[in-house]
Structure 1
Amino acid sequence: MHRPALDPAATLALVVAVLAVSTSGPLIAFAAAAPALAIAFYRNALAVGVLGPISLIRNRHEYANLGRREAVFCVLAGVALAAHFAAWMPSIRFTTVAASTALVATQPVWQGLISVAQGRKLRTVTWAGIGVAVLGAALATGADFGVSSRAVLGDLLALVGAVMAAAYTALGERARVTLSTTTYTTICYGVCAVLLLIICLASGQRLGGYPGSSWLAILGLVAGAQLLGHTMFNYALRRVSATTISVLILLEVPGAATIAWLWLGQVPPVESLPGLALLVVGVAIVVLGGAQAGRRERARARDLETAALP
């Protein structure tokens, strides 16, 4: 898939998205009185409530001319996003937070494999950056994998969460080829919210009766992690590959640690600092390597155009 050069708007969107998703962990911890799956439902449902009217007014023609291919990708992306939330959030109750976080951080590996399955050839520098970033995430979270059957179940759920997150990003990349950001995200978040509501009702999750602080945290998640986080990543998918996006999302680990330190007083363990530094290095390798390759591709395209001139 050919992409135009990364412009300042897309760069700004990526910076905002990383900062926004970094607030997710601290806000979920602050809203401890609300079940995790209920939080996931509300952040998607309320986001649809904000984006839906805007999208329907501005993009009526897109909905009227929505093709089967685009609709299928949007729906499947919503299913994958719901599966990600439904698998990863409960995993923390079965295994350690460190093990769950480390396994979810393998998303770029699955993203790379999906890209290969789609017929793309990833550059060696991309694989190197993915490996360094995932290793850094594992070291930063102090991965401590359990050996009990309960812990193994949690590990498997977290791994499924990583695969589903990769599938969500890959499907979104396909849908965003022709659809606007608001149309895609409205449909995707809507499908995700409906599925999460069904899961919450079927599993008896409490959907109300939370203290005011929990509701404020949920609203913060909607405004930050969902609208400014996921939506800005979706916006950038037209100019940045799904693999690069998945690696950039790993910056949530040091971002969340910093916010938790400044806001909640949770000082990051000294042992995690080398891992955080390694994670940032891995992200830099992927991003800078991709930018350099993009410049070479554009230079070759200009040379071919020049050679074709009479």
Structure 2
Amino acid sequence: MASVVALVVAIVAISSSAPLIAFAAAPSLAIAFWRNAAAVGVLAPVALVRRPDEVRHLFGRRAGLVSVTSGLFLAVHFGAWVPSTKLTSVAMSVALVSTTPIWTALVSAVRGVRVPASTWAGIGLAVAGVALATGADPDLSPRALLGDGLALLGGLAAAGYTLLGSRARATIATTTYTSVCYSVCAVVLLAASLVTGADLVGFDGQTWVAIAAMTIGPQLLGHTLINYALRRIGSTTVAVLLLLEVPGALVIAWLLLGQLPEARTLPGIAVLLAGVAIVVLGARRQPGQPGQPTNGGTAISPEAIGTT
């Protein structure tokens, strides 16, 4: 029962991410920087206290390089997806960024991993859903289309983050990995903010509250409770249930922003999510191969299902 409650709270937490980003009156890069920097402020002291030796010797190991590279992919994910929530609808942004399992399956196919027919069917269904949803969206302005493209890029970057994170977490603790990964992500986003001239301070109180809520909710609470639930509930089940983030985000966007998606786009979004669910189900571990890639090319991990 506790795992079910934890998963419900996690879904609500991650569902709040896109609406809170759209609500916050701050540059997208600044929002992405602060939520990662704040998370580092919480996680890094824990890693230093609990695993000082692992942190000290991390950068002499392959896991250190993998964690840094994963942080670069995470920076691209946030740098693309966060702006998308302000350019297109919350519904389209969250649905399109949820295509991460599709990208991991395609990367696996390129690497020569056998991808089952069910996964290819799910990919085809998801592509059809994207076409249906975007074609039915009355807002075909360059701004909205850019937002859709950035959301897809965010999902693709999250796939790189997922694949690398699965490797790193096989040999180092989660707190160590996330401390390094989030730190690299925050530094890259800080540099991008400075280069582009994005303001990092001077926001109103509501915006700072929204940024704090993003850090506590999706960034920390959501990921923590997903990890807790994964100890007792199958990873595939968790991954499929977390697709409820999309309708959850729609409800929160309606309550917080008064934003409702066009009814004609909902069937396409539903088809897209059904395709992603089929891909996730097709990516279950092959029996007798512990620790090896799944049929879809990567084991379902917390990183794979909680990037927003």
For the criterion TM > 0.5, the same-fold answer is yes
| Equivalent runs, 1:1-310 vs 2, <5 Å | 16-31=9-24, 33-66=25-58, 67-90=60-83, 96-97=88-89, 104-133=97-126, 135-136=128-129, 139-140=132-133, 142-143=136-137, 157-230=150-223, 240=235, 250-290=243-283, 297=287
Segment of structure 1 superposing worse, 212-221 or 130-139: 130-139
Q: What is the deviation of 1:158?
A: 4.5
The secondary structure found in structure 2 opposite 1:206 is coil
5+ residue gaps in structure 2? 290-308
The structure number with the bigger radius of gyration is: 1
Q: Residues 225 and 101 of structure 1: is their aligned pair in 2 closer, same or farther, counting only changes over 3 Å?
A: closer
**In structure 2, how many angstroms separate the alpha carbons of the residues matched to 1:172 and 1:233?**
15
- Percent identity of paired positions between Structure 1 and Structure 2: 55
Deviations 1:198-249 (A, max 9, x none): 11111111111111111111011001111133566678899858xx95x776
How many matched pairs? 282
Rounded Cα–Cα distance in structure 1 between residues aligned with 2:205 and 2:102: 39
Uncovered stretches (5+) of structure 1, i.e. residues with no partner: 1-7, 300-310
Question: In 2, are the aligned partners of 1:105 and 1:134 still within 8 Å (CA)?
Answer: no
State the Cα distance separating 1:196 from its structure 2 match: 0.6
Matched residues in 2 for 1:134 and 1:248: separation? Answer: 20
Aligned partners of 1:37 and 1:196 also within 8 Å: yes
CA distance in 2, matches of 1:203, 1:163: 23
Distance in 2 between residues matched to 1:261 and 1:147, nearest whole Å: 22
Q: CA deviation at 1:76?
A: 0.4
Offset from partner CA, 1:17-40 (integer Å, 9 cap, x none): 443221111111221x21111010
The one-letter amino acid of 1:22's match is: S
Cα RMSD, aligned residues only: 3.6
SS at match of 2:106: helix
In the alignment, is the contact (CA less than 8 A) between 1:140 and 1:275 conserved in 2?
Answer: yes
CA–CA distance in structure 2, aligned partners of residues 82 and 231 of structure 1: 20
CA distance 1:23–1:139, change in 2 (3 Å): farther
With normalisation by structure 2, the TM-score equals 0.75
Amino acid at match of 1:252: E
SS at match of 2:183: helix
What is the identity, as a one-letter code, of the residue corresponding to 1:89? V
Q: Is the 2:67–2:180 Cα contact (8 Å) retained in structure 1?
A: yes
